[in-house]
Amino acid sequence: MDDWLARYMLQEGTWNTPIVLLDNQGQHEFLTEVLLKQPYHLLEGHRRLSFLNGLRHLKKARPHHQVWLTKKHT
């Protein structure tokens, strides 16, 4: 199977677009039964994060990666 994202990340050692994290250090509560992780909750980029974990296992990941951090507006 040819996967352009896997190929890109293997070559670059990082993702092409930052993942999106929610700053959840204040233990925000939403109208949902989903338990949010702390201190950061992954909102978008599950596949890229999974690939990055694979790269880390292969010791081919860069040490730093860009992310987009969102905060709940109060």
pTM: 0.84
Confidence band, pLDDT 50/70/90 cuts, at residue 35:
confident
pLDDT surpasses 70 at 43: yes
- In angstroms, rounded to a whole number, what is the distance separating the alpha carbons of residues 26 and 29? 9
- In angstroms, rounded to a whole number, what is the distance separating the alpha carbons of residues 26 and 40? 10
Per-residue pLDDT, 15: 97
Strand partners, 21: 42, 69
Per-residue pLDDT, 37: 85
